[in-house]
Structure 1
């Protein structure tokens, strides 16, 4: 069992504290977290820093911490630009990048990104294929439905060969099969309950068997929104989740783990039992204090059994 920590991204206008984020990242390495993760929210009232720039800042502040985003909504990106940015970030971090991708579903304002929901999965598949080719082929000619390139090169390639690990988000059976076919791991969403995640893990394992892939080569992880504390902590987590997911129903608080350290540890054991090999701990308030409590009061209980 390995643990990751969410990198703080919620920053009100003008309130960013560079020293505080540097200290948070330094502490994350000292506590032994395997990786630090961001998420992508371009539009919305919740003030959220961009994942690419946040990861670049984190790379400059750390030496060992692996850095990732779950997920980039691939159909909203131009794959050539995204491939270039990610290859550059993998070079700048000396091979510490992890990449999460997803289709994002049809409930998005595609018009804001010069796109449409038509051919959503086809656009996703073609974009990912193009990115992989740009990362691995010295010269590329590509005749796709959405993108065409003629005899081009992209340098430098990613530091990791052939490219950084690719994680897939998603929950539908087709998305899970696609994850096994094209990715290196499945990352369960924080907006899903442990019970929902357990069902997704079973579908992933079935897909691995159907496609003849070794489960040992395919990682499974889950983001867990969490709050360690006593009275009122669950309400604080729920209130923040309602800002992150403004269109979610009143039950959104049920996806979080919240309560005293012993109760949090017990709920995280259930996430591990459901199949998570990596758990991304995602506090949503008082991030530095919460990380300290997680690292000193919760994680050791799981390490002990």
Structure 2
């Protein structure tokens, strides 16, 4: 059965963040029955994106039941022990409701701006993940890797969820997909991935799961979808494309508007159904403007049109 999550409004030009609006939005998301509320991470860029960890901590205080996630932390740009501490703390303050997306970020990232070398970033990603898992599960742990070395470390408190919050891995390259199956609890397709490309990724992941002999129910597949619901499809396309260019234009991404799903409710539902039919367990719906209004329309006019396998 496919579950539906909603994005947390995260864009806040200077002086415009409204805590009460966020509180009302998240309360309404819970009322509407969304399974999760998710943020993303964009440390470098011209879009006014709030920090995901701080925003998730605030969301934890505003909600009681909805699960909270980030897709994805680019963990190669962070200290794994600092990130492990933040994640364990978020799981504690949310009462065990955290979902964690991690990604290597790709070779195009500005690693030098974070004091890191571009070379071997995949090895750094894998080693960092193992280090975080040790911090979350072991009373004392040693580090003897290529990038980090120490003995007799400890980190408390541990996450509420055991052994740790579900780990979703991102990426689009076949090697990334194999790595997700090997190391993660799930794969999440990026919002910047076109639907046709995601459908191929989902097929590949399911084939790898079968090849690896993963037990059903031990691995989930998800997709973030940037979307806009309007009675005027042209207006939906224009507004969504403008928002996507604001989010990704800094990075020189070409034809970014093509990744969005837009139009009348039935038009949007048709595309979302194709994603569900590809074996998607979690669909993360991500409006980029009029967040509260778009969430209402999605819940009332789009989700009821979808067959989620229940």
Q: Report the TM-score when normalising by structure 2.
A: 0.96
Q: CA RMSD in A?
A: 1.1
Structure 1 residue aligned with 2:95: 94
Which ranges of structure 2 fall in alignment gaps of 5 or more residues? none
Structure 2 residue aligned with 1:164: 165
Structure 2 residue aligned with 1:233: 236
Structure 2 residue aligned with 1:248: 253
**Farther off after superposition, 190-199 or 93-102:** 190-199
Which ranges of structure 1 fall in alignment gaps of 5 or more residues? none
Q: How does 1:73-222 map to 2 (within 5 A)?
A: 73-222=74-223
Work out the CA distance in 2 between the residues paired with 1:303 and 1:28.
20
Work out the CA distance in 1 between the residues paired with 2:36 and 2:150.
35
Work out the CA distance in 2 between the residues paired with 1:188 and 1:82.
22
Structure 1 residues 17-50: Cα deviation after superposition (integer angstroms, max 9, x where no partner): 1110000000000000000110000011100000
Work out the CA distance in 2 between the residues paired with 1:20 and 1:147.
42
User: Are the aligned partners of 2:90 and 2:98 in contact in 1 as well (CA < 8 Å)?
Assistant: yes
Structure 2 residue aligned with 1:302: 306
User: Are the aligned partners of 1:136 and 1:157 in contact in 2 as well (CA < 8 Å)?
Assistant: yes
Q: Report the TM-score when normalising by structure 1.
A: 0.97
Structure 1 residue aligned with 2:47: 46
User: Are the aligned partners of 1:76 and 1:115 in contact in 2 as well (CA < 8 Å)?
Assistant: yes
**Farther off after superposition, 89-98 or 260-269:** 260-269
User: Are the aligned partners of 2:223 and 2:280 in contact in 1 as well (CA < 8 Å)?
Assistant: yes
User: Are the aligned partners of 1:222 and 1:279 in contact in 2 as well (CA < 8 Å)?
Assistant: yes
Work out the CA distance in 2 between the residues paired with 1:51 and 1:210.
35
Q: Secondary structure at the match of 1:222?
A: strand
Work out the CA distance in 2 between the residues paired with 1:304 and 1:222.
14
Q: Secondary structure at the match of 1:8?
A: coil
